[in-house]
Chains A and B, each alone.
Chain A
Amino acid sequence: MKIHEYQAKEILARAGIRIPEGRAARTPDEVAAAAEALGFPVVVKAQVHVGGRGKAGGVKLAASPDEAKAHGAAILGMDIKGLTVQKVYVERAADYAGELYLGVTLDRDRRRPVVMLSTVGGMDIEEVAEASPEKIARAWPNPLFGLMGFEARELCLAAGVPQAQRAAVAEIARTLYEQYFATDATLIEINPLFILRDGSIMAGDAKLDVDDNALHRQAALSALKEVSPDEQAEERARELGFSFVQLDGDVGIIGNGAGLVMGTLDAVRNAGGNAANFLDVGGGAREAVVKAALEIVLANKRVKSVLINIFGGITRGDEVAKGILAALEETRPRVPLVIRLSGTAAAEGRALLQSARLASRATMDEAAAEAVRLAKSA
């Protein structure tokens, strides 16, 4: 789960990291009022759950109330990578002399979080990592101890942080690492971390992604969850215990098991088509599950055919087929369906489907080819 910059900054501020004064705003008038209260110059920043706001024109400097209001009007409602900006953050512009990057994220290979510090701040860290990896200093503290003082000092030395700032930056790094665990983050990032003209340190931006699996013990963070209109189908699927991702093709996909669904997406691509979604219903495929899954997939108007790929494991294939037939009787989908059953008692299941005149295929490749053909001829 992602939260906004201003929300992440609040968490940092509470942990003792200095942030610029700022206020969230939802209308151009609120932007002007916030700017006046803060004093000029201010920065007006789009609050959306996606990176690259600056490049998209979602971050602008203002020197007067009118300018702030105009920027607010331009940024609010703006579309950034498919998301509509509904809030901006108005912040007193920092007078800075230098920028650092500081972040903590999971390193899967090392099986623990990595702390990254660089004097190349303000840039996309993935680009820095690609172009000049030596400019990023890294540490992999033992999660049971946290980032120790010596590790933080070594990190600052390795990154080449100026001597005057080393102690302060080391302390912020330790705090950030603590917050990573305290918030059950999968990513926590300050980019840029400003070195101000007076030599002090201040967080210029903040990014915090929370582990969805830990929300049960992060009540305060869970309350910050925002579902944009584009994410509503995914949210509904999540409530049903499904895993759903909207894609941009026209073949709807329903399957059980993440790997099998990924394999089905690949089979559709191999057959020259494009999947409209990823939908993993989890375990078995009882009537109610198939019905709910079909509703979610068919809510997408681009869908021209649906491919249901179910592996009958502990739940037998004929039981699965009965569930699908019962669901279809109620739903009556507007597009053709192709069903593919495999695993335990799959042949019996396929016979049931065939007798109900449903297109049913024995292999994933055949089923994918048929679903793609039907989508193209629709």
Chain B
Amino acid sequence: MSVLVGRDTRVVVQGFGREGSFHAARMKEYGTQVVAGTRIGKGGTTQDGVPIFESVSQAVAATGANTSIIFVPAPAAADAVLEALASELDLVIAITEGMPVNDMAKVAVALAASTSTLVGPNCPGVISPGRAKVGIMPAENFLEGPIGFVSRSGTLTYEIADLLSGAGLGQSTCVGIGGDPIIGLPTPDAVRLLNEDPETEAIVVVGEIGGSAEERAAEYLRAYGKKPAVAFIAGRSAPPGKRMGHAGAIVSGNQGTAASKVAAFEAAGIPVANAPSEIPDLVRSALRCS
């Protein structure tokens, strides 16, 4: 069993435009069931073999979609997320980058009252190698196996997955949670899912500077961790007050420093890699010790 996505995942692509259709084709190639798309004004057509609908509720009624992936541009992304929540989908993955943070503050209120799980925004999505990919990650870099992987980054996630796969350490599920200040599935929640997943034997947590989600994940693992974990924090050399690409990656005052995150993991007995290249060895020795 993988977490979040699997063989019974049925995807509706919200915003079946240039990017949406490109990635829908890649997801289908991987074997993911892409059952529907939405694009306003194109309902009733078929694109690349995918039936297009005017709304998510229509798509769900006609196809039984249970998961959505959102490519809608940032100004309309809150609308798209709320539309997906209104259809009570199990999982909503928002790829969209650049959503206003105050929109997400309001979406978070709706999310708290919803049964759906939101991953993102500003994320690469979720892949369970060999089963399903609901995201934009290059599938070549992932390998089926027992390592659960949570990351706030995009390309750095692919890089680390590539390193793990190259070392023969396949992944159960990789969750790219997104780099924004407010996201649907913060690090501790994603870690909890992997901790509870029987097929996951070890957890890799890749964090970034900014916020305190990594500290809370470390605290959770210290109290409830059932399996070994390894962490890496990007942005150790970032100066305070500078936003490092992601809206969420910023050190303000003493908040969100790499030092605080590294200390939290170390206090929980979780080794922290100094560079991505160290991660596979740390995972192997953590697995040996457990």
Residues on B with beta carbons closer than 8 Å to the beta carbon of A217 = 75, 100
The answer on a CB contact under 8 Å between A314 and B26 is yes
Q: Which of A143, A216, A262 contacts B106 (CB 8 A)?
A: A143
With most chain A CB atoms within 10 A of its CB, the pick from B159, B162, B246 is B159
Binary flags per residue of A215-231, CB closer than 8 Å to B gives 1, else 0: 01100000000000000
Identify 10 residue pairs between A and B in the complex whose beta-carbon atoms are under 8 Å apart, listed by A's number. Answer: A108-B212, A186-B101, A216-B75, A217-B75, A257-B245, A258-B249, A311-B155, A314-B138, A344-B140, A344-B141
The answer on a CB contact under 8 Å between A342 and B98 is no
CA distance A247 to B237 in the complex (A): 10
> Which residues of A in the span 109-145 have a Cβ within 8 Å of any Cβ on B?
109, 111-113, 126, 129-130, 142-144
A-B contacts at CB below 8 angstroms, number: 168
Chain A nearest CB from B156 CB (Å) reads: 3
With most chain A CB atoms within 10 A of its CB, the pick from B101, B216, B252 is B101
CA distance A243 to B208 in the complex (A): 16
The answer on a CB contact under 8 Å between A256 and B109 is no
Q: Which of A130, A142, A258, A259 contacts B109 (CB 8 A)?
A: A142
User: For the complex, would chain A's binding face be called helix, strand, loop or mixed by DSSP majority?
Assistant: mixed
CB contact under 8 A between A313 and B137, given known A144-B109, A343-B158, A365-B277: yes
Interface residues of B (CB under 8 A from A): 26, 74-75, 98-106, 108-109, 136-138, 140-141, 151-159, 162, 179, 181-182, 206, 208-213, 216, 234-239, 242-249, 252-254, 274-277
The answer on a CB contact under 8 Å between B102 and A184 is yes
Q: Which residue of B lies closest to A310 (CB)?
A: B155
The answer on a CB contact under 8 Å between B155 and A143 is no
With most chain A CB atoms within 10 A of its CB, the pick from B209, B216, B247, B252 is B247
Chain A nearest CB from B167 CB (Å) reads: 13
CA distance A184 to B152 in the complex (A): 24
Residues on B with beta carbons closer than 8 Å to the beta carbon of A262 = 153, 156, 208-209, 234-235, 238, 244-245, 249
CA distance A259 to B178 in the complex (A): 11
Chain A nearest CB from B68 CB (Å) reads: 21
CB contact under 8 A between A267 and B275, given known A112-B108, A126-B253, A214-B102: yes
The answer on a CB contact under 8 Å between B234 and A266 is yes
Chain B nearest CB from A365 CB (Å) reads: 5
The answer on a CB contact under 8 Å between B244 and A258 is yes
